């Protein structure tokens, strides 16, 4: 299955409400009746598109000049086109550092999917022929480095002939995460890696003691590479929908986020929160979306495929 099909198929849970509303109503009346309008409103809200976006999308859908008799396909196509315009601001190209390794710092609350994302991205970059250093900078949990080591091994197994993956971890228990990040960048420079991925410990944004660790990680890697970390991504649990939005502001305050990764969308009924996200002033780009726990279950965000998935359409 191609990546865009994985996005559309993976959004099935979030698209359920729309699919049901459309099917039931259009079987009775082949047009956008007030009942269908209300059912779509409920479905978009249930998918966590948010009140402001939902209340803009539906009048636009009504004004779009829908054909009569209205078919399921035509309605979903129009809805997908509208949703895509709302999601488009989130789709921005990923820029690689021109000189030396590109350093990616992954941050987020506990269990959002940081380590899984670090592993999957390492695999993708290595499969594309890049040298990748993965830093196990989560020094809070003893098992964290082991978990990342398993991913690093899997990633190394799927590397192309030019690609490679190396893990840098703490040399002793309770070591400083900034020290691990520093050694990772040092190794990347020495071995001419193209990417460094720094996995960090989960932390709640209201724990200022833990949050202070991230700026420290940034400061030490900047001693080796002044522009690093080039990317500072917040990993969001897609199952939580709009409830994750306050985290964006909190982490941004600490480390100046450059983008987002949204995980667990395969298990989420609230993937529509990206529509709400896209309507915020100056939204951060969503660089990757995750749809499962296998190596190839992550890929770039695509607004059109995402919109089609939310509308219950295939790629
Ligand atoms: N279904 C699904 N599960 C995922 C996805 N990404 C991560 N998970 C699962 O979510 C759980 C947490 O993932 P981790 O990668 O360990 O999360 P973390 O942010 O590193 O967690 P901490 O280090 O404890 O803060 C694991 O059971 C993963 O398998 C995804 O895209 N889809
Ligand atoms: Mg982790």
State the pLDDT at residue 277: 97
How confident is the model over 138-192, as pLDDT tens digits? 988 878 999 999 999 999 999 999 999 999 999 876 679 999 999 999 999 999 9
Any ligand 1 atom below 6 A from CB of 293: yes
| For range 9-18, the mean pLDDT | 96
State the pLDDT at residue 205: 77
Ligand 1 atom closest to the Cα of residue 235 is: 19
State the pLDDT at residue 206: 75
Is the pLDDT at 210 greater than 80? The verdict is no
Determine the distance separating the centroid of ligand 1 and the alpha carbon of 176, expressed in angstroms: 23
Determine the distance separating the centroid of ligand 2 and the alpha carbon of 250, expressed in angstroms: 19
CATH number assigned to the domain covering 102-300 = 3.40.50.300
The strand pair at 195-200 and 131-137 is best described as parallel
Do 3-90 and 102-300 fold alike per CATH?
A: no
The strand pair at 286-290 and 298-300 is best described as antiparallel
Between 233 and 203, residue with greater pLDDT: 233
State the pLDDT at residue 37: 95
How confident is the model over 38-96, as pLDDT tens digits? 999 999 999 999 999 999 999 999 999 899 999 999 999 999 999 999 999 999 999 99
Ligand 1 atom closest to the Cα of residue 291 is: 31
Between 219 and 29, residue with greater pLDDT: 219
Q: By percentage, how much of the chain surpasses pLDDT 90?
A: 88
Any ligand 1 atom below 6 A from CB of 114: yes
Any ligand 1 atom below 6 A from CB of 153: no
State the pLDDT at residue 102: 97
d(CA 264, CA 213): 26
Fold for the domain defined by 3-90:
1.20.120
Q: By percentage, how much of the chain surpasses pLDDT 70?
A: 99
Determine the distance separating the centroid of ligand 1 and the alpha carbon of 241, expressed in angstroms: 16
Task: Classify residue 292 by its DSSP letter.
Answer: S
Mean pLDDT over each residue of the chain, to the nearest integer? 94
Any ligand 1 atom below 6 A from CB of 138: yes
Is the pLDDT at 26 greater than 90? The verdict is no
CB atoms within 10 A of CB 257: 21
| For range 115-129, the mean pLDDT | 97
Q: What pLDDT band is residue 216 in, cutting at 50, 70 and 90?
A: very high
Nearest ligand to the CA of 267 is 1
Instruction: Count how many Cα atoms sit within 13 Å of the Cα of residue 209 in the half-sphere of its side chain.
Output: 0
Q: Which residues pair with 196 in a beta bridge?
A: 103, 133
State the pLDDT at residue 174: 67
- Per-domain boundaries in the chain: 3-90, 102-300
């Amino acid at each position: 299955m191609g990546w865009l099909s994985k996005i559309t198929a993976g959004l099935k849970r979030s698209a359920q409400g729309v699919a049901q509303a459309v099917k039931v109503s259009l079987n009775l009346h082949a047009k956008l009746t007030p009942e269908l309008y209300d059912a779509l409103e409920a479905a978009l809200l249930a998918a966590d598109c948010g009140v402001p976006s939902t209340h803009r999308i539906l009048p636009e859908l009504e004004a779009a000049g829908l054909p009569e008799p209205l078919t399921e396909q035509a309605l979903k196509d129009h809805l997908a086109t509208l949703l895509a315009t709302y999601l488009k601001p989130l789709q921005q190209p990923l820029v690689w550092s021109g000189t030396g390794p590109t350093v990616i710092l992954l941050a987020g609350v506990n269990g959002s999917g940081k380590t899984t994302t670090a592993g999957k991205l390492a695999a993708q970059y290595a499969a594309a022929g890049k040298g990748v250093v993965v830093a196990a900078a989560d020094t809070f949990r003893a098992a964290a480095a082991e978990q990342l080591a398993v991913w690093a091994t899997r990633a190394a197994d799927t590397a192309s002939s030019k690609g490679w993956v190396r893990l840098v971890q703490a040399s002793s228990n309770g070591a400083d995460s900034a020290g691990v990040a520093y050694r990772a960048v040092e190794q990347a420079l020495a071995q001419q890696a193209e990417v460094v991925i720094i996995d960090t410990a989960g932390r709640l944004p209201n724990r200022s003691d833990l949050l202070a660790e991230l700026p420290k990680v940034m400061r030490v890697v900047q001693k080796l590479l002044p522009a690093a970390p080039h990317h500072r991504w917040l990993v969001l649990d897609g199952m939580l929908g709009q409830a994750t939005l306050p985290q964006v502001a909190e982490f941004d305050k600490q480390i100046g986020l450059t983008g987002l990764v949204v995980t667990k969308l395969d298990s989420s009924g609230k993937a529509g929160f990206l529509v709400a996200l896209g309507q915020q002033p100056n939204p951060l780009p969503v660089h990757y979306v995750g749809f499962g726990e296998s190596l190839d279950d992550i890929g770039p965000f695509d607004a059109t495929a995402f919109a089609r998935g939310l509308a219950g359409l295939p790629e």
